Amino acid sequence: MYKQAHYHTTTHELLCIVRGTATIQLGGTDERARPGPGPSSESSCTTINVEPGDVLLLPAGYAHRALQDAGGFTMVGSYPIGAEKWDS
């Protein structure tokens, strides 16, 4: 996952954590993206810690980024056939 906030306007994203741990910020990091809870701002974001076995389903337009990882962090992303690249 990128360290910069990004989102996919028209594509849902399924992420499966395979190895390592990371802290991920969800929502509210980009004015063009659908905000997380509350107004679109850093303070309204949700921050989560992920580990192997965790699965994230991110709706189209939902901003996300990696804040930090413990090294060796690996995840697998699944996207619909023909999905566009991230666009933020």
pLDDT at 40: 45
User: Which residues have CB under 8 Å from 82's CB, separation 6+?
Assistant: none
C-alpha 12 chain-centroid distance? 11
What's the pLDDT score for residue 51?
A: 97
The whole model's pTM is what? 0.75
Alpha carbon separation from 52 to 49, 65, 70 (Å, rounded) = 11, 17, 12
Q: Where are the beta strands (DSSP E) in the chain?
A: 13-19, 22-26, 46-50, 55-58, 64-69, 74-78
From first to last of its 88 residues, what are the pLDDT tens digits of the chain? 888 888 888 889 999 999 999 999 998 755 444 544 444 445 568 999 999 999 999 998 888 999 999 889 999 999 888 776 666 5
Domain boundaries, the chain: 13-78
